[in-house]
Amino acid sequence: MQDSAALWSPLAPSSARPWTPALASHLLRRAGFGVSWGELQQAVAEGPAKTVSRLLQPPSRYEAFEERLAPLARGGPEAWLYRILETPWPLLEKMTLFWHNHFGVAASRSTAELAGSFISLLRRHALGRFDQLLAAVCRHPALYVSLGARACRKSAPETGLASALLGLYTVGPGVFGESDVRETARAFTGAYVLRDEFRWLDYEHDAGEKTILGRKGNFDIDGAVRVLLEHPSTARFIVRKVYRWLVSEMDEPAGELLEPLAAGFARDYDIARLVGTVLRSNHFFSEAAYKRRVKSPVEYAAAIAAALEISPPAAPLHQRLAGLGQNLFDPPTREGWAGGRSWLNQFTLVARANLAASMLAQARPEAVAEKHGSKDVRSFFARLLIQSETPAPILDILVSTEFQLA
Amino acid sequence: MPISRRAFLGFPAALLARPAASGNVLVAVQLAGGNDGLNAVVPFDDDHYARPRPTLRLSAAQVRKIAPSTGLHSEMPGFERLFKEGRLAIVQAVGYPKMHRDHGAAMRSWQTANPAPSGEETGWLGRAADQAWNPAEGNVPAAFVGTIGQPLTLRARRTVVPSLRDPKDWTLTAEVSGPSPAWAAARRVSTVLHRGTASPYPSCSLAQSLRNVAQFIRADLGVSVYLVEHGGPPPGGYDNHANQAGHHAVLLRELSESVAAFCSDLASDGWLDRVVLMTYSEFGRTVSENGRRGTNHGAAAPVFVAGGRVKGGLHGAPPDLSKLEGDAPVALIDFRSLYATVLEKWLGLPAEPVLGQRFELLDLLA
């Protein structure tokens, strides 16, 4: 195995490893949701380093976009889908969806309002710092409501909440025991949700000494969160999930491979730096990552919309994507969506084909090809959608196995 | 790269493999609102039944007698016929200890198979689907057929469970090329729809759902669990706190005649031997009627199980109406015994991982 530090060093294109449209498209798919011809050409021209730096920053027109969407700030899943389809800063939404999947807070286990407000919180921190994100999450009512912990009483600490915090959100499974769960739950006593707002009731807080993961102290929420953040398993656990999100769902990476990333992440929990390191890396542009994910339903629809340059109405599209298994705002469990092969079954493949056909019927593919200087629509979309030089009917490409992969 | 890609999706080989189809099928019917078991399976000569129900009680003359002291509601001729044919089993007094009396917690209990206030997020049939799901095959172990939101019963961790409003939802709307078992399955649905249904069905939404299920079953899609619903979204049509008699009669007729039509339809070409249909409702009703000619939330109630290979007849003891809890019958058979029975003996799935513990199996299936 190669030295893992070298695998995470930035790709430097050379004649042996040229920067190709296939790699540019790979980067844009993982850092966003769909790829238009213009975006692909820009990334091909800029090269990987410049493209990644650009993707990490809000583009100049992002502010205007945010202003335009302000009326939708309290919107539901349809509004989020609209944002995903139209945003000039797709990486922010991609990472917001990552955290939505990570925390698994669902409208069906809380309320649509709480879930919406939670997702706004995730977006504010999506490319910020994980320590700040976690602290904010631990003061958001949606977390408590969705875990059935509206009242963390001194006499009845919420072990379900503590167990999710440890096993799903920070150190991950296998690191802690029953007593860590109980002690963490004690640290959270005093946390209440009253009228859908987070409240701290000091008289319900158990201020006694606790032992969490071998550390002793009179921990409250912030104290417990600090212990979890300082435990080396937390950075490893998050990095492993980011790997699955951005690099590959198909292989479980070795611990040594992730160690340099985890060590860097643990220093200051800077999410944007972690994401940037991954997206620039030799490993990311290797076979270990290429087409090693399945497009989620949202990615599938967004990819078609971007390539065909259409803006499908978000509300009906949201319904169809829910039918394909991705109901935004409502992951099936607190563990999020299973992803990978679970997206594809004999029903969802048919539903994807029907969705692709209906989106294609709304589009004017010949006009799109011609606008970009191509008279051969079958060649143009084969190059754009799957970077193939073999012309093919667009629908055949959209339903192919190849195009189901991200 | 192409090689590893193929290996991942198992394409074309694995997605081309027909799922291990032609297995048994379970059709679960959710009855929302709390079905009054005592006026469906009526202990007509029990004073403990008749006395507290001055207006709602059904007399011997008003029921369809199926046992010396038990009768079906008069609006259930279809169930009477199925019962006499030996295709309907009635499991009496089903529930669990200290049954929940509010719709939310009670329905959740039946949907998740867990009455304890737990953080259970998945449904019992969703967990069964996860067990039956084979990623290499891309099979679809379970589906919801209906027009309301998908009930929690089917919520799964890994499996995408389709919600089918219309059988056309599983057909292709455009011509796609290339061989794929997914396309082949969708074309079988089209063929079945084109052929149509010869058997008559009553006109109600439950009948429509069951007709659709029969068509999906004929298309041989490898789906082993279908869920349909009667009574609509919560709290549900079976919740009759006032003027129950008329409303309940309509619902029972729809249920009985739709299920009977479904069984006749499937029996006509031999499919019924592979199908078991089972109802569930969050609770029965109180024995006493309230002051508004209705009944309130109760506890244990009968469950109907129909199919070509069920052991027809009454199963379990009738509820003991001299020993009530909160004015409602006490459960004599745990609902999870029923679940375990259909999981293990019908679907061939180990019940313990789905239900979290072992439950006694019932002698319900031939």
| Domain range summary for chain A, segments of one domain joined by + | 297-404
Out of B5, B12, B174, whose CB is closest to A353?
A: B174
**The pLDDT of residue B181:** 92
A214-257 pLDDT, tens per residue? 999 999 999 999 999 999 999 999 999 999 999 999 999 999 99
Residues of B in contact with A325 (CB under 8 A): 160
Q: Is B174 on the interface with A (CB under 8 A)?
A: yes
Out of B9, B162, B176, whose CB is closest to A401?
A: B9
In sequence order, the 6+-apart residues with CB closer than 8 A to the CB of A51 are: A24, A27, A28, A42, A43
Look at B170 and A325 and tell me if their CB atoms are within 8 Å. Answer: no
A176-187 pLDDT, tens per residue? 999 999 999 999
B251-299 pLDDT, tens per residue? 999 999 999 999 999 999 999 999 999 999 999 999 999 999 999 999 9
Residues of B in contact with A323 (CB under 8 A): 162-163, 169
pLDDT tier, A366 (very low <50, low <70, confident <90, very high otherwise): very high
Structurally, how many domains does chain B consist of? 1
- What residues make up the domain containing B314? 32-336+344-355
Q: Is B170 on the interface with A (CB under 8 A)?
A: yes
In chain A, % of residues over pLDDT 90: 97
Amino acid residing at A340: G
B56-81 pLDDT, tens per residue? 999 999 999 999 999 999 999 999 99
Q: Which residues of A touch B (CB under 8 A)?
A: 109, 147-148, 160, 250, 287, 290-292, 323-325, 332-335, 338, 340-351, 353-354, 357-358, 393, 395-396, 399-402, 404-405
pLDDT tier, A347 (very low <50, low <70, confident <90, very high otherwise): very high
Query: Whole-number mean pLDDT of chain B?
Result: 93
CATH code of the domain in which B242 resides? 3.40.720
Q: Is B114 on the interface with A (CB under 8 A)?
A: no
In sequence order, the 6+-apart residues with CB closer than 8 A to the CB of A356 are: A304, A395, A398, A399
Q: Is B279 on the interface with A (CB under 8 A)?
A: no
Q: CB of B212 within 8 A of CB of B190?
A: no
CB atoms within 10 A of CB B96: 20
Amino acid residing at B311: K
Structure tokens at B284: 């029965």
Mean pLDDT over residues A276-295, rounded?
98
Look at B138 and A341 and tell me if their CB atoms are within 8 Å. Answer: yes
**The pLDDT of residue B20:** 41
**The pLDDT of residue B4:** 40
Q: Is B121 on the interface with A (CB under 8 A)?
A: yes
Look at A147 and B119 and tell me if their CB atoms are within 8 Å. Answer: yes
Position A370 pLDDT exceeds 70? yes
pLDDT tier, A71 (very low <50, low <70, confident <90, very high otherwise): confident
pTM of the model: 0.95
pLDDT tier, B343 (very low <50, low <70, confident <90, very high otherwise): very high
H/E stretch holding B281 reads strand B275-281
Spatial distance between the Cα atoms of B115 and B356, rounded to a whole number of angstroms: 12
Q: CB of A78 within 8 A of CB of A314?
A: yes
Evaluate whether residue B183 is within a structural domain. Answer: yes
**The pLDDT of residue A2:** 61
| Residue A65 C-alpha, separation from nearest chain B C-alpha, in angstroms | 33
**The pLDDT of residue B8:** 41
Query: Whole-number mean pLDDT of chain A?
Result: 97
Out of B5, B119, B222, whose CB is closest to A160?
A: B119
